[in-house]
Structure 1
Amino acid sequence: MQKIYSLLIFLSIISYAQQGRVGINTDTPEATLDIKEKPLDEMPEGYSQGVSFPNFTTKERKTFTDVKLGTMIYNTTKNRLEIYTVVNGKEGWYSVGVVEEEPLSTKTVSAADIAQKQKIMFQDDEPESVLFDSNQRGFYLNAMLQVSKIDRNKFRIRNFLPRKFNDVEIYFKNANTTAPIKILVLEELAALAEVEIDLPFDGGSLRFEDEDGNAESYAASDLKTDDYTLSVDVPDNFLFHRMKTIKNKTFISFGKYGTGNWGTTTAEHIRLYLPILANMAYLYSSEKFRTRFMDFPHVLYDNGKNPINREAVYQSMLSVPRQVIGVTTGVEGLGGGSAFGIHQRFLTGDEYYNQLSRWAFECWSHEFGHVIGFSHDSNMTYRGGPNNKGYVDIVINLYGDLLRNGDIPFWKNPYK
């Protein structure tokens, strides 16, 4: 009998659905979905009724993509019902029927305001005293979108990537905050931009959210301290999240050079280097590279022809402390210690965006082999061994695969 009763209910719902309406607890739905209450005297004492929406934390909700307008959830972080809609022209998640006790103090800095303050780095007229100053034009490979403090009132953000970013979120942490709090959103940050911005800590009481959406109030005096750290996020941005996977801790700066086989480095050379540096760091950090390096079926040997410790060498690739980048003219490349350079013709052409361009990839990986301590006696630079194979084959083949699949920060020249 229970099965027959359930079937009748199901068929009834199907019938109404075919008419464009579904009713629950009613035979005559008056809307697309019409849910009627059950009389309390027909239900067990204390029996609850209502509609329960899916429950998610703010952190879980942030993983949603392509959300349809009108979608509703119950946010367990904020303990409130939310709807994805448009308010004042801005699409996002908004509370339903709840008035905030106090508005958030997070401010948006407009693109126009940033444009007035910013400077574009690595321009042809930039003085050499700036161009080759590691404090002003140096960066870590795993932080090419760099944010740092100037003093207790101001910070600086530098974008070492040749791509603009929208809705850049700035997070602040000091001894008086339990977690990084979102203090600013930069509407637009230009490619290669450098800009100084005031910290938004004016007033008596301020209210900010952390990365998980938990809001807390602070006295402005508790935030105006000398010791603090900053971090940056660009939600839903493909390039930024590719860059976040980079594990290389290498500090990059640029040298003028200009003697022997070294050419004289120019601002144009540096601009052309930046996306390639991002691509190579991404490649070496990828799990695909680690797997291919560890599983390479041919012997990889050191300067004394002894098999290398692959795990140790792999870790050394990610831990090079510093590289001073330049260009070569007399030879295809130079590398060793902190010095690294490839021939300028590889930069001015599209060699590093062409999946068939093997020689450019080989020269880069060869010189990087020198940087991590291998000589020409090892097949970590030139090919060798019984099958005439080497680590350069891993880099060449993987780089080509990443380009073909678009699985790399810059799969085409960003300046064209």
Structure 2
Amino acid sequence: MRKLILPLLIISVFGCKKNSNGPDAPKAVTTASYNFDTDANSTVMFADGESITLLTSEARRYEIGKVLRVKAVNATTIEVANFAPVEINDATILMTIEGQASPVKLFKIGKIRAHGVQEIKYPFITGDSKFLNNEGQEVDLAQYKSAGIPVEKVSFDFSGDTELIKKLKTLSKLKWKIKYHDFDPNDDPANNWKENIDAKDVRRFTGFIINLAYLFQEEATRTAFVAEPITDNNKIILTTVQKEEAFKKMIDIPNFNCGVVVNVSGLGGGATFGVANHVLKDYLTADVCFVVVHEMGHMIGYSHDSSMTYPTNPGNRGAVVATGNVYKDLLAKQQFPVKVSNYYKPQDLQ
């Protein structure tokens, strides 16, 4: 009798385990994964030979906090685009549907190449309708499988745990919307705008504007800025509160209409932000704050009489000095998101 008890117990336990994973058990929800890293699964924006019309089109406008941009093309199709000049790995795309409290983990990206772009159907149309939200709860999108989701009812973001993604996510502190412009459509030789902005200009600009945003999200930059003696347009030293307000205005600039200048190093005012090609060439190896923060000072209303744009003389104090010190430190420590080592077209930097 004792000889029979042990085999019967083993059979009983084995049978219970088998049934727990059997055909009646609920299917585990998995998140679909995509790559956009070859000519077979994506194309590339800002490629040499692209027309000025395309380079400067409204379709190429993006938020600095969403350089990995997903947007709805129509009810059933989305576009995935990487506006950074570096490869992004291991990202999760989050979708928020109007009326739902928690974003859905729509799909994962194993790799998207620098400036890669591709249109795809929603995963719930081509595959399983069940997804997980940010709380790990199951969400069934079967109701959208046939007709899709109206464009105005959906928005997207991205997340991830890599060092690069964590740095790119910090840029959401800023409100900047980026668009590239040809400010000299009539090729007027009398102005200071480059006559024909080209793909190389824009490629350089994409990395430059990311690093500039990263500089301004750093607490060290705000601290140095607020501690610096800075004068207004009447050469009166700003109070701490006024400097805090000025820094916030820079963070909150709504639009950067970016162009390339000639004959001068920069032009700025309102939403216009222009820098010369020597800035776009050297931003990964040299402090460019004198030019770029000078122009940002103009964008928030400061003139050449303020040390927001030019340092005081004598003394060499002002906004461009304080921000430049932090910029040089970030360069030396290789802390910027875009670096010489990860920029995808080294020839652009020559």
TM-score grouping bracket, smaller chain normalisation: 0.7 to 0.9
RMSD: 2.4
- Bigger proportion of residues as helix: 2
Tell me the distance in 2 between the aligned counterparts of 1:411 and 1:200: 34
1:9 alignment counterpart: none
Tell me the distance in 2 between the aligned counterparts of 1:203 and 1:186: 17
Paired AA for residue 305 in structure 1: K
- Please report how far the alpha carbon of residue 386 of structure 1 lies from its aligned counterpart in structure 2 after TM superposition: 6.0
2:46 alignment counterpart: 122
Distance 1:205 1:176, change over 3 A: farther
1:304 alignment counterpart: 234
1:324 alignment counterpart: 257
Q: TM-score, normalised by structure 2?
A: 0.81
Residue number among 340, 352, 360 corresponding to 2:283 in the alignment: 352
- Please report how far the alpha carbon of residue 306 of structure 1 lies from its aligned counterpart in structure 2 after TM superposition: 2.5
Given that 2:55 and 2:202 are in contact with CA atoms closer than 8 Å, whether structure 1 keeps it comes out as no
Given that 1:167 and 1:187 are in contact with CA atoms closer than 8 Å, whether structure 2 keeps it comes out as yes
Tell me the distance in 1 between the aligned counterparts of 2:164 and 2:128: 36
Tell me the distance in 1 between the aligned counterparts of 2:305 and 2:144: 62
Residue number among 270, 278, 294 corresponding to 2:210 in the alignment: 278
- Please report how far the alpha carbon of residue 393 of structure 1 lies from its aligned counterpart in structure 2 after TM superposition: 0.6
Distance 1:103 1:289, change over 3 A: same
1:225 alignment counterpart: 149
Tell me the distance in 2 between the aligned counterparts of 1:140 and 1:213: 28
SS of the residue aligned with 1:374? coil
Tell me the distance in 1 between the aligned counterparts of 2:107 and 2:265: 45
Residue number among 86, 99, 103 corresponding to 1:180 in the alignment: 103
Tell me the distance in 2 between the aligned counterparts of 1:224 and 1:105: 20
Distance 1:110 1:338, change over 3 A: closer
Deviation string for 1:42-82 (max 9, x for gaps)?
Answer: xxxxxxxxxxxxxxxxxxxxxxxxxxxxxxxxxxxxxxxxx
Paired AA for residue 123 in structure 2: P
Structure possessing the higher radius of gyration over alpha carbons:
1
Tell me the distance in 1 between the aligned counterparts of 2:293 and 2:251: 14
Paired AA for residue 173 in structure 1: T
Q: TM-score, normalised by structure 1?
A: 0.69
Alignment of 1:207-222 (within 5 A): 207-221=130-144
- Please report how far the alpha carbon of residue 244 of structure 1 lies from its aligned counterpart in structure 2 after TM superposition: 0.8
2:33 alignment counterpart: 108
- Please report how far the alpha carbon of residue 174 of structure 1 lies from its aligned counterpart in structure 2 after TM superposition: 1.8
Higher RCO (C-alpha under 8 Å, 6+ residues apart): 2
SS of the residue aligned with 1:274? helix
SS of the residue aligned with 1:269? helix
User: In the alignment, does 2:156 pair up with 1:156?
Assistant: no
Given that 2:267 and 2:273 are in contact with CA atoms closer than 8 Å, whether structure 1 keeps it comes out as yes
Runs (5+) with no aligned partner, structure 2: 1-19
Larger mean CA deviation between 154-163 and 203-212 belongs to: 203-212
Given that 1:366 and 1:392 are in contact with CA atoms closer than 8 Å, whether structure 2 keeps it comes out as yes
SS of the residue aligned with 1:157? strand
2:227 alignment counterpart: 295
SS of the residue aligned with 2:81? strand
Paired AA for residue 220 in structure 2: K
Given that 1:171 and 1:232 are in contact with CA atoms closer than 8 Å, whether structure 2 keeps it comes out as yes
Aligned length: 311
Given that 1:122 and 1:131 are in contact with CA atoms closer than 8 Å, whether structure 2 keeps it comes out as yes
1:245 alignment counterpart: 170
Paired AA for residue 259 in structure 2: G
% identical aligned pairs: 28
Runs (5+) with no aligned partner, structure 1: 1-96
